[in-house]
Chain A
Amino acid sequence: MTAYLKLDHIDKSFARGGQVSEVLKDIRLTIDKGEFVSIIGHSGCGKSTLLNLIAGLTKVTAGAVLLENKEVDSPGPERAVVFQNHSLLPWLTVYENINLAVSKVFGRTRSRAERHDWIMRNLDLVQMAHARDKRPAEISGGMKQRVGIARALAMEPKILLLDEPFGALDALTRAHLQDAVMDIHSRLGSTTIMITHDVDEAVLLSDRIVMMTNGPAATIGEVLAVPLARPRRRVELSSDRTFLRCREAVLKFLYERHRFVEAAE
């Protein structure tokens, strides 16, 4: 089976005033269709940069991002991003925010009624249909993130990119949203890449966990498969031996072998 998404020897460096800082070096990764992959690492290791490279929001210095064997170097709706701070447009309602995406992506191929049904389907999927006429300022942080997920899903992306989607939420809301994402993933089978710094979250949601070494010139240190059957339930897993073993492996990687050194220059 050929890889759905392939990160082929990617280097990324930023040049600022004659000084070149190498952020990512020799990133090699293949992801299969329908897989849920988490990327975990200490802050500053360039994991958000990696996501932006896959999204096409920043360009690679060397190497290539291949989606279905085609190189991608600019952003597009087939690689939808859910941003950490939701990035909903505050002057539009929940419905209009998703409509902006849907009418741009499906404006030519679907009728107005079909587009409306599609928007409502996606709002239902994240249980936000009741707030369709509210503006982002009128709903809670967790709800905004749900709408952000709905907007991304409504683009019918080949790959869903989640950039620390729950980082700004409290623990309970975060658990709810993790369940929602698991549920959506099991229903749609969407290929998903999630950036996170939460070990439990990574183990709970992922099929594989990609662990990054510390920057500068960060690279993939280790890839851990999570052989847990789905559907997964957080309460049962909290004492599951496989879950704990995976969790320990990630913790060991992060805190023993690649301990975060403050101001490592």
Chain B
Amino acid sequence: MSIQAIEDPKVKAFPTPAKPAEVIAFTAKVRRRFEPGAIAGKVASTLVPPAVVIVVMLVIWQIACSSPNASLPSPSQVWNEAYDLIAHPFFDYGPQDIGLAWRVLISLQRVAIGFGLAAIVGVALGALVGQSIWAMRGLDPVFQILRTVPPLAWLPLSLAAFRDSSPSAIFVIFITSIWPVIINTAVGVRNIPEDYRNVSRILRLNQLEFFVKIMVPAAAPYIFTGLRIGIGLSWLAIVAAEMLTGGVGIGFFIWDAWNSSRLPDIIVALAYIGVTGFCLDRLVAAVGAFVTRGTTAK
């Protein structure tokens, strides 16, 4: 998901409007002109094509699943049987009977803790690996092996270690999302131009000042690529981990719905998961675009 999203031209389009204006003054003035018609056209050109695709997909799905012995529910059936879940995301009828938005929020909370830790530890380790040739020689092979272990393979070990489902799920997120952060940060740090290092040496910046003032901003575009892949992976991992550990997250809801044969509920939950993952990806991308403005051009 995240890899596709990075190639998405819309993502690249996001930071551009500010830039051409600064480099080439003439085109900027032309582009900055405010034209309501042009804006409406642009909105339509971004919204209409996906809307058409979704409608066509729903129609095909409806036709394919409308025979009486179809094994999966059709869209209209989902709408009728899971209407409560769709219309009331925030209901709360007791500890195990809550709206999907609450469940997503609980899962998001776990992601926030696990991914937050992964971001901090990942950037620190990545900086170490990028900066020190010996740290790289020692740690890089280990990282390369560990990062190929599938998220759920960590779950039994972490259940044994933590003896509780919630920290285990958080650990799985952590261990899943940390690798792309480490690897991308290391590449970013290794690519810091020698001139920036010379500037910091002439100014006699200490290690901490160099890290905060030179290394992190210079490697920021790489770091945010890693964070973006990481948040995508951690959202994949949380749903799978919750299916096994239980609790009230969105992943367990799907497992529970399967056990009680509520297929329409599963489909609604999938839509929630997809939209949330998309929003997380865009959120990290937007933060990255905001933080790294001006660093790409020389």
Contact = CB atoms under 8 A, between A and B. Distances in A.
Contacts of B22: 135, 137-138
Contacts of A138: 22-23
Interface in A59-104: 74-77, 79-81, 83, 85, 87, 89-92, 100-101, 104
A75 B202 contact: yes
Nearest to B214: A89
Contacts of A215: none
A75 B201 contact: yes
Interface string B225-256: 00000000000000000000000000000000
B195 A85 contact: yes
A55 interface: yes
A52 B297 CA distance: 27
B205 A91 contact: no
Given A100-B203, A104-B209, A138-B23, A87 B220 contact: no
Interface string B180-195: 0000000000000101
A57 interface: yes
Contact of B204 (A77, A81, A92): A77
Given A91-B220, A137-B294, A137-B297, A77 B196 contact: no
Counting chain B residues whose Cβ lies within 8 A of the other chain, the interface size class is: 20 to 34
B201 A104 contact: no
A210 B23 CA distance: 40
Question: Which of under 10, 10 to 19, 20 to 34, or 35 or more describes the interface residues of A?
Answer: 20 to 34
A105 interface: yes
A101 B204 CA distance: 10
B213 interface: yes
A89 B213 CA distance: 10
A10 B42 CA distance: 66
Contact of A87 (B196, B213, B292): B196
A100 B202 contact: no
Contact of B199 (A89, A90, A135): A89
B144 interface: no
A75 B205 contact: no
Contact of B298 (A55, A57, A83, A136): A136
Contacts of A155: 202-203
A85 B194 CA distance: 11
A87 B213 CA distance: 14
Interface in B12-26: 22-23
B73 to A, nearest CB: 51
Given A90-B294, A137-B297, A83 B198 contact: yes
B295 A87 contact: no
Instruction: Tell me which of A57, A80, A89, A101 has the highest count of chain B C-beta atoms within 10 A of its own C-beta.
Output: A89
Given A91-B295, A137-B294, A57 B201 contact: yes
Given A137-B23, A138-B22, A138-B23, A90 B295 contact: yes
Which 6 pairs of residues, A with B, have the shortest CB-CB distance? A87-B195, A137-B297, A75-B201, A135-B294, A91-B217, A138-B22
Interface of A: 55-57, 74-77, 79-81, 83, 85, 87, 89-92, 100-101, 104-105, 135-138, 155
9 contacts: A55-B202, A57-B201, A75-B198, A80-B202, A87-B199, A91-B218, A92-B217, A104-B204, A105-B203
